[in-house]
């Protein structure tokens, strides 16, 4: 089943998404609406890592 | 189209066993190191056992790590930081969710979760719901008290996550819940087996056939009933629905589930949990199918209050058969078949309350409720079984009694004092039932 999916490409995009979210969180140190919403997005990105990135290694 | 995909995660759920084991080992090392670095409790426990994170290289190494029991959590939670104690691995201001255990076996244990942990909970549940064929077209009714107990909370969020519609039936009584299901034409629901049967009973008393309500899937938790064939059949017959089991716990997470193939076993979500089975008498680890033992479980991704080698006391056994659904996650036969601290010796014979439930629910003419009381007559153990006879079946009492006696003797090897009560006279329960009472002083 795993041959059907390009896990490497998915994992790369997830890593990129995570980097963007982390950078955005860094901009929100004094901006609760930005910081907290980005932290929640990062928790969601972690679920992508558990489902995809962990097995693309 | 993703909605037609059979698996929630088509790669993870069909990985080879070797790859799953490799993933589990990698993840175990991470969560072990995470806990060792961040929690005073875990560091002290592992230092005392002489085990450091870098020494964990194999599953054999994992077995050297001390287990954690619920009673230890109660001691931990007397320490700082309040109210979780020193097993906490994150600063208090990162804790987003509080839940507590039901306290069935003593003082409740508090559970801290970060937002990421909470996402993880509902991710675990998404595997369950998708495997049980919940889809975005479903309207799911949740008849539970939304409160401090974890119950179906994560199921609620998983319904949202998979794209289906949730109807929170919290502060409604049973009649109002039934009317709401009818009004909204709900297609699925989640509840304890006790409540599923109780709701059916209430619906009938309202003059409503529960099978007419349109519920086609029911996911159970909290009690073993949905894996006890006779109880499952009663629920399915009453509602005209497929009834699925799953198992989870506040301190662990939602760790196993029945899939739509319903082949008699529950899949362990081996991507997120490491399950070990240990012989209760010898402590030997059991790898082979068909041999029962107690479960030692690790939640591989839970961070705020990690669950590492938790001695759950649940009795399980590995299944021998691959599941026709194609999932490679191993299965446990018949779900959680008992608890190490529930199985008690009566007259020198091991007795599991589930075995009595299976007999009672398998006899036509008896109601769903029953009660078992174990006490002593002088020095001799005595078991009293109270059952209800259905209305209109009183004339068959002798035949029912004879059948009940035979089946009890066959399934449990014990004799009982049988008490027959009119229908509706035994206590009813809304959530977890307490039908087994051991009054002996040990």
**Domain of residue B102, CATH code:** 3.40.50.12780
Q: Which residue of B has its CA nearest to A48?
A: B123
Task: Report pLDDT for A2.
Answer: 67
CB contact under 8 A, B272 and A47: no
pLDDT along chain A (57 residues), means of 10: 88 98 96 97 98 93
Same-domain check for residues B65 and B105: yes
Same-domain check for residues B94 and B215: yes
Mutate to test the interface with B, among A3, A11, A43 (most CBs of B within 10 A): A43
Last residue of a domain, one of B282, B313, B339: B339
Range of the domain at B180: 1-339
- Average pLDDT (B54-78) is 93
Per-residue pLDDT reduced to its tens digit, B2-38 = 999 999 999 999 999 999 999 999 999 999 999 999 9
Widest pairwise Cα distance in chain B: 70
Residue B312 has pLDDT above 80, yes or no: yes
Q: In what order do the strands lie in the sheet with B273-278?
A: B273-278, B293-299, B310-316, B338-339
Strand partners, B288: none
CA–CA gap between residue B196 and residue B213 (Å, rounded)? 13
Last residue of a domain, one of B314, B339, B364: B339
The CA distances from residue B302 to A12, B43, B93, B129, B308, in Å, are 24, 17, 17, 20, 9
pLDDT category of residue B348 using cuts at 50, 70 and 90: confident
SS3 B39: coil
Task: Report pLDDT for B86.
Answer: 96
Task: Report pLDDT for B71.
Answer: 84
Same-domain check for residues B319 and B349: no
CB contact under 8 A, A40 and B115: yes
B10 touches chain A (CB under 8 A): yes
Same-domain check for residues B351 and B258: no
pLDDT category of residue B70 using cuts at 50, 70 and 90: confident
A32 touches chain B (CB under 8 A): no
Is the link from the previous residue into B344 a cis peptide, with omega within 30 of 0?
A: no
Picking from B162, B178, B203, the residue whose alpha carbon sits closest to that of residue B3 is B162
Same-domain check for residues B10 and B72: yes
Per-residue pLDDT reduced to its tens digit, B205-239 = 999 999 999 999 999 998 888 889 999 999 999 99
Q: Is B60 exposed, middle or buried (0-12, 13-18, 19+ CB in 10 A)?
A: exposed
Domain count for chain B, please give it. Answer: 2
Q: How many CB atoms lie within 10 A of CB B304?
A: 24
CB contact under 8 A, A1 and B27: no
pLDDT category of residue B346 using cuts at 50, 70 and 90: confident
Same-domain check for residues B356 and B303: no
Chain A residue numbers with beta carbons less than 8 Å from the beta carbon of B114 are: 43
Same-domain check for residues B292 and B377: no
Task: Report pLDDT for B377.
Answer: 85
List of residues 6+ apart from B114 with CB closer than 8 A: A43, B90, B94, B95, B96, B97, B303, B304
- Nearest Cα of chain B lies from the Cα of A20 at a distance, in angstroms, of 18
A44 touches chain B (CB under 8 A): yes
Same-domain check for residues B389 and B242: no
Last residue of a domain, one of B322, B339, B356: B339
Task: Report pLDDT for B411.
Answer: 85
Task: Evaluate whether B343 touches B315 at the Cβ level (below 8 Å).
Answer: yes
**Domain of residue B389, CATH code:** 3.30.300.30
The DSSP element (H or E) to which B403 belongs, if any, is helix B397-412
């Amino acid at each position: 089943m795993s041959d059907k999916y390009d896990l490497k490409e998915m994992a790369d995009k997830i890593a990129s998404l995570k980097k963007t979210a982390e950078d955005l969180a860094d901009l929100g140190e004094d901006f609760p609406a930005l910081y907290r919403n980005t932290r929640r997005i990062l928790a969601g990105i972690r679920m992508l890592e558990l489902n995809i990135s962990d097995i693309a290694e | 189209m993703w909605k037609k995909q059979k698996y929630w995660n088509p790669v993870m759920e069909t990985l080879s066993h070797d790859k799953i084991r490799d993933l589990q080992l990698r993840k175990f090392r991470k969560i072990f190191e995470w806990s060792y670095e961040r929690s005073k409790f875990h560091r002290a426990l592992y230092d005392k056992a002489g085990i450091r994170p870098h020494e964990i290289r194999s599953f054999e190494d994992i077995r050297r790590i001390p287990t954690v029991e619920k009673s230890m959590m109660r001691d931990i939670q007397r320490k700082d930081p309040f109210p979780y104690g020193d097993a906490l691995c994150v600063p208090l201001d990162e804790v987003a969710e509080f839940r507590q255990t039901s306290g069935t076996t003593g003082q409740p244990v508090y559970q801290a979760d970060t937002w990421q942990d909470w996402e993880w909970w509902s991710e675990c549940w998404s595997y369950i719901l998708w495997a049980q064929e919940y889809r975005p077209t479903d309207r799911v009714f949740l008849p539970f008290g939304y409160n401090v107990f974890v119950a179906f909370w994560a199921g609620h969020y998983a319904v949202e996550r998979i794209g289906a519609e949730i109807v929170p039936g919290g502060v409604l009584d049973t009649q109002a819940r039934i009317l709401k299901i009818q009004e909204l034409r709900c297609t699925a629901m989640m509840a304890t087996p006790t409540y599923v049967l109780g709701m059916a009973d209430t619906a009938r008393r309202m003059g409503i056939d529960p099978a007419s309500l349109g519920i086609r899937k029911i996911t159970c938790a909290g009690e073993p009933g949905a894996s006890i064939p006779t109880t499952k059949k009663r629920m399915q017959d009453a509602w005209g629905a497929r009834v699925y089991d799953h198992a989870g716990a506040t301190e662990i997470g939602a760790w196993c589930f029945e899939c739509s193939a319903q082949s008699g076993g529950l899949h362990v979500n081996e991507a997120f949990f490491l399950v070990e089975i240990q012989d209760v008498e010898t402590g030997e680890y059991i790898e082979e199918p068909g041999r029962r033992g107690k479960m030692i479980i690790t939640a591989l991704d839970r961070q705020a209050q990690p669950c590492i080698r938790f001695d759950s006391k649940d009795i399980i056994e590995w299944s021998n058969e691959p599941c026709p659904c194609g999932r490679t996650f191993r299965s446990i036969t018949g779900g959680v078949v008992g608890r190490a601290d529930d199985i008690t010796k009566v007259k020198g014979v091991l007795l599991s309350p589930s075995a009595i439930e299976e007999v009672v629910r398998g006899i036509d003419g008896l109601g769903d409720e029953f009660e078992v009381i174990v006490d002593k007559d002088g020095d001799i153990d005595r078991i009293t079984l109270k059952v209800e006879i259905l209305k209109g079946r009183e004339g068959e009492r002798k035949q029912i009694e004879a059948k009940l006696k035979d089946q009890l003797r066959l399934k449990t090897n014990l004799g009982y004092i049988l008490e027959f009560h009119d229908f509706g006279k035994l206590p009813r329960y809304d959530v977890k039932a307490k039908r087994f009472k051991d009054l002996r002083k040990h």
